[in-house]
Amino acid sequence: MKSYQLVETNQPLQLVETDNPDPQGTEVLIKITASGVCHSDLYFWQGGYDGGGGKTISIEERGIKLPLTMGHEPVGEVVALGPDATGVKIGDKRLVFPWIGCGDCPRCDEGNDNNCISMRTLGVLAPGGYADHVMAAHSKYLLDISGIPEHYACTLACAGITSYSALTKVHPLYDDDKVVIIGAGGVGLTGIGIARAYLPDHELIVVDIDGEKLAAARQAGADHTINSSDEDALERLKELTNTGPGAIVDFVGSSETSKLGYDAVRKGGKYICVGLYGGEITIPTLTLPVRNMTVQGSYVGNLEEMNELLDLVRGGEVTPIPVEKRSLSRVTETLQDLDKGRILGRVVLVP
């Protein structure tokens, strides 16, 4: 098999050719046909995250070992099954759910793999999708995508589930509440399309610093857009909502966006942080009770939510994000383009 591996941070990924691995136990080998490129891979490529207060959290501190085959949005075809694998057959087209836990703790038993403290996430802690094959640990992590074009379906494995799971946390909302999405990159834009179907009765306000991304946001169903590079976003949010939005989902997560989200949300509302940009905010503790508000994080999602999202997409009301297909060999160039903010929607690699 061919894989493009992160061998040294900030350097081009290296093409490595090996024999196809043999599936053991319940494992299932997938031949990849579409593989989305997520902005979060930039943090691995660049060697770490902004931990706030001038600190960097290195990938080693997150338990990531190089060389690593990144990529956590693979779709493909079943080509080999381990001796104990059931539930799929050769030739089945499946989305590979990447957010898998240890398989042996109470959280994993309940199906809450994303709250397992020993995750085995594909493309992060196990070989992922920047390859022509990927191994799934169990057929339960292989989801039927019939009715959904595969080059869009793959983006649901991260951009889709991450935004859907965050959007499920906006409740309870009042009838007159507006919902805000900060950031219209790949995950945010996916979230706008999903919010249009999932929260049809609430007006959607999108904040970004890029006019082109805001135009795409309006196309995906945003009722109002705010360009925070040339408008006072906090003022505009107050104008549009009177007392503040009922919920704000932040797909950036920088010091600036989290301060905006925290300041803008209405009394009794929620600020939900999803993006991994990094930074910090100082919160006057008195405002938490006085404003009766919730500050919450959201990390990817679980299998049940993945299935709910696939059903929602099949319902036909979700606006898909723009997808550009590129050959797998252009993976490094794609990461560079993402870093420069040059990609609208998602690039999907085709081996």
Give the binding site for Zn ion (CB under 5 A): 38, 40, 101-102, 105, 108, 116, 158
Question: Closest approach of Cβ 73 to Zn ion, in Å?
Answer: 7
Residues linked to residue 68 through DSSP beta bridges, in sequence order: 6
Q: Does residue 162 contact residue 187 with C-beta atoms inside 8 Å?
A: yes
Query: What gap in Å lies between CA 13 and CA 212, rounded to an integer?
Result: 29
What amino acid is encoded at 275 in this protein?
A: G
Three-state SS at 48: strand
Task: Return the number of the residue (105 or 126) whose C-beta is nearest Zn ion.
Answer: 105
Both tokens assigned to 191? 């979230």
Question: Rounded CA gap, 98 and 120, in Å?
Answer: 8
- Shortest Cβ 116–Zn ion spacing (Å): 3
User: Is residue 52 a contact partner of residue 259, using CB atoms and an 8 Å limit?
Assistant: no
Task: CB nearer to Zn ion: give 88 or 300.
Answer: 300
Cα–Cα dist 194/161, whole Å: 10
How far is Cα 202 from Cα 192, in angstroms, rounded to an integer?
12
CB-nearer residue toward Zn ion: 7 or 102: 102
Nearer to Zn ion, 37 or 310 (CB): 37
Query: Min. distance of Cβ 38 from Zn ion in angstroms?
Result: 3
Which residue lies nearer to Zn ion by CB, 99 or 198? 99
Query: Any idea what DSSP says for residue 209?
Result: S
**Residue 84 vs 109, nearer CB to Zn ion:** 109
Kindly state the smallest distance separating residue 308's Cβ from Zn ion, in Å: 19
Question: To the nearest whole angstrom, how small is the minimum distance from the Cβ of residue 158 to Zn ion?
Answer: 3
Find the helix packing angle between 159-167 and 303-314, rounded to 10°: 100
Contacts of 15 (CB under 8 A, 6+ apart): 2, 3, 4, 329
263: left (phi over 0), alpha (psi -120 to 50) or beta: alpha
* Residue carrying the six token digits 């994303």: 114
**Choice between 225 and 302, CB closer to Zn ion:** 302
Taking the complex as a whole, how short is the minimal distance between the CB of residue 349 and Zn ion, in angstroms? Answer: 14
Radius of gyration of the chain (CA): 20
> Cβ 182 to Zn ion, closest distance in Å?
17
To Zn ion, the closest distance from the beta carbon of 280 in angstroms equals: 22
Q: Residue 248's beta-bridge partner residues?
A: 180, 271
> Which C-beta is closer to Zn ion: that of 38 or that of 81?
38
- Name the residue type at position 344: L
Q: Could you give the 3-state DSSP secondary structure of residue 94?
A: strand
Cβ proximity to Zn ion, 191 vs 245, nearer residue:
191
Quick one: which of 144, 164, 220, 190 has its CA closest to 36? 190
CB of 98 vs Zn ion, minimal distance in Å: 8
| CA–CA distance, 326 with 36 (Å, rounded to integer) | 10
